[in-house]
Amino acid sequence: MKFLSLTTLRELARLSLPMVVSQGTFAVMIFTDRWFLSSLSSAHIAAALGGGVAAMFCMSFFSGLISYANALVAQYHGAGKMERCTKVVTQGFYLTLATVPVFATVALLAGGLFARLGHDPSLVPLERAYFYTLMAGGPLMVGKTLLACYFVGIGRSRVVMLVDVVGIVVNIPLTWALIFGKFGLPELGIVGAGIGTVTAQGLAIVLFLFFYFERAHVSQFAVKRSWGYEPGVMKRFLRLGLPSAMEAFMNTATFNVFLLMFQSYGVAEGAAMAIVFNWDMLSFVPMIGLSIGVTTLIGRSVGAGEIDRANQMISSGFIMALGYSGTLAVLFFIFRVELIDVFSTPDDDFQRVRELGQAMIVGLCSYMLADATILISGGALRGAGDTRWVMITSTSLHMAMLVAQYFVIVQWQMSPLVSWWVFVTMLISIAICFVARLGGGRWRRPERLARVMAEH
């Protein structure tokens, strides 16, 4: 069985590299937001992390569900059922509408949790303001995810790249102006950062719809016949997407609780974590684009009944992901002090942030290859519809990590670095389990793949 093909490597690169750029724009957007906020104080950096992760957690269930549109569209596309691809978008639109009342209710209920978790009083109002702003734009973020997944699923990843590049070109100057009150705009601080992010999502939807209603696309994918509820497509969406939704929700929940517990160490510790995760995004987020490419190609193979090509796609994904993350890990380790100092703040306690942050970057370098392994393995398994196993394994290990963090942080009150290395160990464990599943082969059995494609 052939494990590597230059043709497959080029195909994956052609599909994934625009998505790497696309995901990279998101990383740059968050990076610049926090860099701007570092001019205000360490509290603003920490609050952007706390409020931002809390918002992502509250949206994670629907985001995880909607993101499975990528695999569904790719499977239908591989099977030559073009009219079903746009029906996935319609069913996803109905699910997106359901987020409006859900997000509003959740935001009202969750806004008071920052103070109850014992955060520093200087953080709480900033976290809450940023959280409310992002939650107000939550349906836009989910809708943008739906359309991006659709275009990747049909192989038009360059459209997604173009939309996201335009979005960041608008977002960065707009966010800067709203944070600091430039160009006649009000000085909104951390709220301005949130408004800039939401505005970019709304602009992306407008641009995606322009391509979606393009005449040639409408004709090829029968857009005019896609409206209306389609039970078979919706059942597949829920049957395969709900495990992904639950995985995203539970993993984000455990990570969010870990983050909130970690921030109870203090402002300097929270700022150090925010800075380290900022650099982590430059490795992790672009590789999500590569993972999406692997999911798409595996999904097409499932739809076309050509799963034998899976090994070539997976090998190509590992070569690209491990090469990228390995190179960054070496650079991050060498320049760890300089990376922390990029976010130097006018606060007197930045020396504490510097000392802790550079030690945490060593842990970051240790798990970057594990992240790459998780993303490629998970992308392949999701593309093949093995979402239930991925959910059970990933959430179980995240929960075990959270239990350990409770004892380390709350009960035993150990140092922040002990807590950090518990987190690193969890990621390495997930990578080992995912590789074992990928090599086992149960996910590629013909009878199982037939059930994945069934609309009931």
Domain span at 62: 6-453
pLDDT digit string, tens, across residues 171-187: 889 989 998 888 888 88
In a domain, 344, yes or no: yes
CA dihedral 423, 428, 430, 432 (to 10 degrees): -160
pLDDT digit string, tens, across residues 236-290: 999 988 898 898 888 888 887 887 788 778 777 878 888 888 788 777 877 888 8
| Cα separation, 95 vs 88, whole angstroms | 11
Tokens of 445: 């059995």
Tokens of 431: 């990578």
Let me know: does 167 contact 140? Beta carbons within 8 Å: no
Question: Average pLDDT of each block of 10 consecutive residues along the chain (456 residues)?
Answer: 66 78 74 78 76 83 89 89 92 93 88 72 83 90 92 89 89 90 85 88 93 93 89 90 87 81 78 82 79 86 77 85 90 88 72 84 89 91 88 92 88 87 91 90 80 74
3-state secondary structure of 119: coil
In a domain, 59, yes or no: yes
3-state secondary structure of 59: helix
In a domain, 210, yes or no: yes
Q: Which of 231, 238, 254, 217 is nearest to 83 (CA)?
A: 217
In a domain, 53, yes or no: yes
| Cα separation, 71 vs 422, whole angstroms | 32
| Cα separation, 302 vs 72, whole angstroms | 10
Q: What is the CA radius of gyration of the chain?
A: 21
Tokens of 240: 């395969």
In a domain, 343, yes or no: yes
| Cα separation, 279 vs 339, whole angstroms | 8
Structural domain count, the chain: 1
13 burial type by CB count under 10 A (0-12 exposed, 13-18 middle, 19+ buried): middle
Please provide the size of the chain in residues: 456
Instruction: Please give the pLDDT value at position 35.
Output: 78
In a domain, 130, yes or no: yes
In a domain, 1, yes or no: no
**Helices 267-304, 231-263: inter-axial angle, 10-degree rounding:** 160
Q: How many CB atoms lie within 10 A of CB 229?
A: 10
Let me know: does 51 contact 134? Beta carbons within 8 Å: yes
Q: How many CB atoms lie within 10 A of CB 179?
A: 24
| Cα separation, 138 vs 145, whole angstroms | 11
